[in-house]
A and B are shown apart, each in its own frame.
Chain A
């Protein structure tokens, strides 16, 4: 080791004030931390399997397994029905990895360093969530791209399709706070996956993703109607293959706001408590 002199910090201005005020600082710190998550994603592309290969396999399996039986043998018609639903399902499942990663970061002590730095308490979580945009965008592109190869066609137009993608990403960003919260609460990243599957599976399958709701028994219909995935699927369907949108969109946006209002504070509190 050399004994090169390191200059002592030149004191400029008030070191107790974050540069540009607290809001600008939170944005800047979150971006820096999101960049960190993105670098990790680029370095370990295999961590993207759950938003690339997995939805593709699900789409193939369900289209060819059930397509013949469900839509009167018309697989193309079933694909048009199924794909928007599979997209919503993949978004919900795509958030699980986030909670696992955050849990692992905390276990490794990386977050101790962040907590000893003068950043807003929420910055490490906000940054990690923001980086997840890339994963949700990937899901959308993979589903639409591979779906097109399988014969899926957008029946509405370019603008509604873009709106569907934007809504999907936004929903993913709201829904993943559940995973963040669970990631702060449970002890191991394996347990995060277990708990989240338990939560997400009933929502993803007990919905209008695979079959029309009116074919279900009454009690299940009741569940489907209060499931946040249901209005999302209906909205994406409307935006991609046509059908009513406005009412479903309102319900979806309400759910998104509700998810944020409940789970962001819960996640932040659980993060603060985690020593």
Chain B
């Protein structure tokens, strides 16, 4: 049995003049979180809708939990949970009524559906609001109810389409906690997001989609490595030693680069950064700093942020990256 719980090949979908999906391949390993990143209109939601059996692609094949999405959608539906981009709870129903209805549609008996609803409402901190209509809920509470609704059937695969858009940072981290717990309990999660931070925090692997095509598929660290390489950052204890630090670090700079004082907006001044090729440079840099008598309060190797990766990938020509991708996926 394949260890891939989501597998899609060559998905194409056109809406009028827009080619929403232009040959998307996806692969997600069981028990992992796959982050699907991309700018607005990249095709993320369309891809999720195809995998969640809501939309038939014009071309291509897809399997979820080992079942063909196009041939046996009902069997797929018993194994997935979906939380859409917009909280799709029924506002006139109470929290309990929303979840019991989903349970009944999943063929639970009414008493099991009620038990499951109570359990999930408790878990999502909605027990007190259980008897209130969802229209009285705050945005965060609605999102939680929506997520709870997608978990009623103990799904093997959970699709979350921008689950934290519009949530404040504390609520977002609550959501992350939920996602992590689901994964430790054996579920696999495919999540689309526009927040790189979210993908970095949750995803085991990241797929970057742009203009209906996959332009990268790698681990978060792998992506970071592909784009920028490592940076060594040093902060001298005495700010007046910055020129000395620059001189020392120039010696370990990757070919064709040099050390520079950090001047990025918002960064605390007084640090020095240098692009390096690998972590062995520490063996040279640390003794060299000591010999020069530069005391440091900070010395660290950084991968580029996913922000930088994302911009590098989406601003470059997608076609150029496509070939590399075919090997990776």
B84, B133, B186: the one contacting A8 at CB < 8 Å is B186
B93, B97, B123: the one contacting A6 at CB < 8 Å is B123
- What's the Cα separation between A259 and B154 when bound, in Å? 41
B49, B85, B92, B105: the one contacting A119 at CB < 8 Å is B105
- Name A1-38 residues within 8 Å CB distance of B: 1-6, 8-9, 15-16, 18-19, 25, 28-29, 32-33, 35-36
**B 118-133 binary contact with A (CB < 8 Å = 1; else 0):** 0110111100000001
Determine whether the beta carbon of B120 is less than 8 Å from that of A6.
Answer: yes
**B 244-270 binary contact with A (CB < 8 Å = 1; else 0):** 000000000000000000000000000
Determine whether the beta carbon of A113 is less than 8 Å from that of B124.
Answer: no
Using CB atoms, name the residue of chain B closest to A108: B88
**A 97-124 binary contact with B (CB < 8 Å = 1; else 0):** 0000000000011101111111100010
Determine whether the beta carbon of B122 is less than 8 Å from that of A113.
Answer: no
Please tell me if A225 contacts chain B, counting CB pairs below 8 Å: no
Contacts of A1 in B (CB 8 A): 123-125, 174, 177-178
**A 34-52 binary contact with B (CB < 8 Å = 1; else 0):** 0110011001100000000
A8, A9, A15, A32: the one contacting B104 at CB < 8 Å is A32
Please tell me if A275 contacts chain B, counting CB pairs below 8 Å: yes
**B 87-113 binary contact with A (CB < 8 Å = 1; else 0):** 111101100010001101111000000
- What's the Cα separation between A113 and B103 when bound, in Å? 12
Q: Chain B: interface residue count, which band? A: 35 or more
- What's the Cα separation between A8 and B53 when bound, in Å? 24
Stretch from B3-11, B71-79, B297-305, B317-325 contacting the other chain: B71-79
Shortest distance from the beta carbon of A137 to any chain B beta carbon, whole Å: 21
Contacts of B292 in A (CB 8 A): none
Determine whether the beta carbon of A44 is less than 8 Å from that of B78.
Answer: no
Using CB atoms, name the residue of chain A closest to B91: A108
Determine whether the beta carbon of A116 is less than 8 Å from that of B54.
Answer: yes
Contacts of A36 in B (CB 8 A): 90, 93, 97, 101
Determine whether the beta carbon of B105 is less than 8 Å from that of A116.
Answer: no
Number of interface residues of A (CB under 8 A): 36
> Chain B residues in contact with chain A, CB under 8 A?
49, 52-55, 74-75, 77-78, 80-82, 84-90, 92-93, 97, 101-102, 104-107, 119-120, 122-125, 133, 149, 151, 153-154, 174, 177-178, 181, 185-186
Determine whether the beta carbon of B54 is less than 8 Å from that of A115.
Answer: yes
Determine whether the beta carbon of B75 is less than 8 Å from that of A16.
Answer: yes
A4, A6, A44, A113: the one contacting B88 at CB < 8 Å is A113
Determine whether the beta carbon of B181 is less than 8 Å from that of A3.
Answer: yes
Please judge, given known A-B contacts A36-B93, A43-B133, whether A2 and B122 are in contact too, CB under 8 Å.
yes
Shortest distance from the beta carbon of B217 to any chain A beta carbon, whole Å: 25
Determine whether the beta carbon of A25 is less than 8 Å from that of B107.
Answer: yes
- What's the Cα separation between A114 and B54 when bound, in Å? 10
B54, B101, B133: the one contacting A275 at CB < 8 Å is B54
Determine whether the beta carbon of A116 is less than 8 Å from that of B133.
Answer: no
> Chain A residues in contact with chain B, CB under 8 A?
1-6, 8-9, 15-16, 18-19, 25, 28-29, 32-33, 35-36, 39-40, 43-44, 108-110, 112-119, 123, 275
Contacts of A112 in B (CB 8 A): 54, 82, 84, 88
Determine whether the beta carbon of B185 is less than 8 Å from that of A118.
Answer: no
Contacts of A8 in B (CB 8 A): 154, 185-186
Contacts of A9 in B (CB 8 A): 153-154
Determine whether the beta carbon of B92 is less than 8 Å from that of A43.
Answer: yes
Determine whether the beta carbon of A118 is less than 8 Å from that of B123.
Answer: no
Contacts of B107 in A (CB 8 A): 18-19, 25, 28, 118
- What's the Cα separation between A19 and B108 when bound, in Å? 9
- What's the Cα separation between A36 and B105 when bound, in Å? 12
Determine whether the beta carbon of B92 is less than 8 Å from that of A44.
Answer: yes
Shortest distance from the beta carbon of A275 to any chain B beta carbon, whole Å: 5
Please list 28 pairs of residues, one from A and one from B, whose beta carbons are closer than 8 Å in the complex, sorted by A's number: A1-B124, A1-B174, A1-B177, A4-B123, A6-B120, A9-B154, A16-B75, A28-B104, A29-B105, A32-B101, A32-B104, A36-B93, A39-B92, A39-B93, A40-B92, A40-B93, A108-B88, A109-B85, A109-B87, A112-B84, A113-B84, A113-B149, A114-B105, A116-B52, A116-B54, A117-B106, A123-B105, A275-B49
B53, B86, B90, B106: the one contacting A115 at CB < 8 Å is B53
Contacts of B81 in A (CB 8 A): 116
Contacts of B92 in A (CB 8 A): 39-40, 43-44
Shortest distance from the beta carbon of B42 to any chain A beta carbon, whole Å: 18
Please judge, given known A-B contacts A114-B105, A119-B105, whether A109 and B77 are in contact too, CB under 8 Å.
no
